[in-house]
Structure 1
Amino acid sequence: MSTVSRRIETALPDTGTREWWLLYLFAPIVLVGLAILAFPTLVYDQFIWQYLWGPVVADAAGQPATHEGIQAVRGYNAVNTVTYLAAVVYGLPGLRAYLDSLDVSFDARLAYGFAPIIVAGGAMRALEDVGLLGDYAVWFITPSIYFVVTAVTVLALGIGALARDRNIGSIPSTVGVVGGVWAIGAVGWAFWHGLSTSAPLRLWVPVATAGIALSVTAFYYWGTGFVDVAHLRHPLFLLAVFGQLWDATQNIIGVTFLGYSPKLVVTNLVYQATGFSGSTFVLKLFVTGGIVWYLADAKAEMNHTWWWLMTFFIGAIGLPMGVRGSLRMMLGV
């Protein structure tokens, strides 16, 4: 070990302490802030604005946005896709530490308690697409919406821990109630808006997308009975498969019948390369199946908390996109 690395290790707080976690979570923010001060044009204008914040502003405005002569366009790009994924991966240890401090039980009840909040996030994104959120729209566009959903989840977890400690509730039920109220309100608003306008309301879209995803998930459940791999029928896997296939189904219906194109960079590249409207469905089916198989086979060897977070994350990145896409197409956006 070099002298420099020894000095750095000595200066850092002990791993796992409150000070260490504060350093872990806030150090990237401080470093980015210092980089902006030192190289504002390079770091902010040509990176953060052009690829991260600019697309958010452009999305809220519904047209390209310009800052210091640099134009940003709405939607995903390769840079923000990789950046968001890296931020999520980096934040997982902090999330685990917070959950551990609340003595949260990582089980299926907690996953299903989280699901309504994820649905609410997807529905709010659809409401923003429709233009119903006014000046608050910027908070429900990527990546702002992730901070909003995370803040609501963290608050609900804290309230749930207090309820559990006072024997008046549990963490999964509290999180589920908070998310359920939010999801019902957001989805209900979307339906009310559709019914109150003169534009055709495609009620068949969410019925078809959710129905097909549920049917394929049921087929997956039936098919795993013929495979000698433990845990393939775990509730977390059912949620993961359903979430990913709902997103895949809304893609194939949108592209095949309604003239849409996939929004995500990777799926759109696959679609453009193949010209096959079902390319996203096939891609997600094989990728999700492979990941689920691996995690099911590795469950006994992996740390349970990490296994739970990784498995839940698979469904959490598919479910809101399925909800958003279905509601957008239902409303004709």
Structure 2
Amino acid sequence: MQQYIDRYGAERIWAATVVVVFGGLALLAALFPQQVYVEFIWEYFWGPVVADANNWNCVAWAGGEVQSCDVAGPDAGPTASPGYTFTSYAGYIPTLLLLLTGFIFAIERLDIERYRAGFWGLFPFMLFGGALRTVEDANVAVHEATGDAALSLPWQALIISPFIYVVVALIALVSLVIAVWLERNEYVSGYEYPLAGIGTGLLVLSLAILASWASTGGYGFFPGLAVTVLVVSTVITGAVWWTIVQFAPQLNEGTGYMGIPIIWAHAVDGTANVIGLDWATAFGLPSNLVPKHPVNAAIQRYTGQLLPESITSVIGDVWPFLLLKVAAAVFIIWVFNEEVFEESPRFTIMLMLTVVAVGLGPGTRDMLRATFGV
């Protein structure tokens, strides 16, 4: 493999891989539309987005007309539901790694040296991504309440998972280019400051739009839920970090203080799931949230099956998901040791940002959609 990289260049090989994979998939879809497009691409990738955009629990292919399963007949073809499946994960994860590699090449062109500063500068974009995703939830709520909305398909899909990850990443990349330009022209002392400022500004703008739309289409405002999620996840993060520092300091030798937001991101995701899926009604919401990921759905199902109802009625059945998320965050911190940073600091920082994004993105979305009643 190295000989091909030396001969053609890593960027050209990456570009050729993108063309072959997605061009080949498009060709197969054209040659075998039913098997490849309908029964694979639509059923596992585009169908869930359509269902999510229309707030349907299930969408049916219905000969290409695409209808809610409640309306479509029993022979309407493949169906899809909002959220992810193990099949979609199998497609999204390689795609995410391919996208990540492309962004690393783009960052190489910027010739950035202080990568750890970039981690902190990009952190607000992780919160922005979750808030922007909740804006789409509010858009759906407005449409249901008024019959009209600002966004519709296909543009609406840009802020629905997983496409929103690409959108936020592109916005972050453009912001990074602007921030580096400001630093190199001596307008700022460090590129991380304007970068964090842009991300924070986008976060505030998203929250303002969310609040405005939720006031029209939402079913209430429940700030106590958000406060509880943030306080509990912060306490958990502090306890875990103190334990690492006191008893296993070698775990965070590579990440340093960057390990804190990694733990916090996944603690937020775990806590938001526990509260949203088990205890949302205790905060005044009309019903508990429904899991949209196969992992937390499986945990909720099996915990409910293994433990008697007398116990789950008291402690709920989603709490193992929080334990799993925190344990995974600690494991990730351990994996990113000093040797990994020394060998490939650029790629390591990008992976860490991805780890934060896949925790804080859905966690923030779950917390905000419950808080604003959308």
Matches within 5 A, 1:270-285: 270-275=299-304, 276-285=317-326
Match of 1:243 among 265, 268, 280: 265
Q: What is the TM-score of this pair, normalised by structure 1?
A: 0.88
Change (3 A) 1:301 1:154: closer
- CA displacement 1:69-123 (0-9 Å, x = unmatched): 4333222122112211121122222221111111123533211221222211111
Match of 2:354 among 289, 296, 313: 313
Residue 111 of structure 1 aligns with an amino acid whose one-letter code is F
Matches within 5 A, 1:312-331: 312-331=353-372
C-alpha separation between the residues in 2 aligned to 1:161 and 1:20?
Answer: 27
Cα displacement (A) at 1:255: 2.1
Note if contact 1:224-1:233 (Cα within 8 Å) is conserved in structure 2: no
Q: Does 1:58 align with 2:51?
A: yes
C-alpha separation between the residues in 2 aligned to 1:117 and 1:251?
Answer: 21
Q: Does 1:266 align with 2:295?
A: yes
Change (3 A) 1:113 1:26: farther
Matches within 5 A, 1:1-333: 14-16=8-10, 18-63=11-56, 64-66=59-61, 68=63, 69-130=77-138, 131=140, 132=142, 133-135=150-152, 136-169=155-188, 170-194=190-214, 199-226=219-246, 227-229=248-250, 230-231=252-253, 234-258=256-280, 259-275=288-304, 276-296=317-337, 298-299=339-340, 302-333=343-374
Q: Secondary structure at the match of 2:61?
A: strand
Note if contact 2:131-2:203 (Cα within 8 Å) is conserved in structure 1: yes
Q: Which stretch has the larger CA shift, 300-309 or 116-125?
A: 300-309
Cα displacement (A) at 1:232: 6.5
Note if contact 1:255-1:262 (Cα within 8 Å) is conserved in structure 2: yes
Note if contact 1:190-1:327 (Cα within 8 Å) is conserved in structure 2: no
Residue 371 of structure 2 aligns with an amino acid whose one-letter code is M
C-alpha separation between the residues in 1 aligned to 2:256 and 2:249?
Answer: 14
Note if contact 1:243-1:319 (Cα within 8 Å) is conserved in structure 2: yes
Residue 256 of structure 1 aligns with an amino acid whose one-letter code is D
C-alpha separation between the residues in 1 aligned to 2:243 and 2:12?
Answer: 48
Change (3 A) 1:141 1:197: closer
Q: Secondary structure at the match of 2:352?
A: helix
Count of residue correspondences: 325
Residue 329 of structure 2 aligns with an amino acid whose one-letter code is T
Change (3 A) 1:178 1:25: farther
- CA displacement 1:227-248 (0-9 Å, x = unmatched): 2415276122111111011000
Q: Secondary structure at the match of 2:337?
A: helix
Residue 359 of structure 2 aligns with an amino acid whose one-letter code is G
Note if contact 1:55-1:72 (Cα within 8 Å) is conserved in structure 2: yes
Note if contact 1:116-1:183 (Cα within 8 Å) is conserved in structure 2: yes
Cα displacement (A) at 1:266: 1.2
C-alpha separation between the residues in 1 aligned to 2:191 and 2:36?
Answer: 41
Q: Secondary structure at the match of 1:318?
A: helix
Q: What is the TM-score of this pair, normalised by structure 2?
A: 0.79
5+ long unaligned stretches in structure 2: 64-76, 143-149, 281-287, 305-316
C-alpha separation between the residues in 1 aligned to 2:321 and 2:123?
Answer: 23
Q: Which stretch has the larger CA shift, 39-48 or 223-232?
A: 223-232
- CA displacement 1:274-299 (0-9 Å, x = unmatched): 12220210111222222222323654
Cα displacement (A) at 1:198: 8.1
Identity of aligned residues (%): 22
Note if contact 2:255-2:336 (Cα within 8 Å) is conserved in structure 1: no
Q: Secondary structure at the match of 1:74?
A: coil
Q: Which stretch has the larger CA shift, 128-137 or 208-217?
A: 128-137
Change (3 A) 1:40 1:21: same
Q: Secondary structure at the match of 1:105?
A: coil
C-alpha separation between the residues in 2 aligned to 1:26 and 1:160?
Answer: 31
RMSD in angstroms over aligned alpha carbons? 2.6
Residue 144 of structure 1 aligns with an amino acid whose one-letter code is F
Residue 261 of structure 2 aligns with an amino acid whose one-letter code is L
C-alpha separation between the residues in 1 aligned to 2:97 and 2:227?
Answer: 33
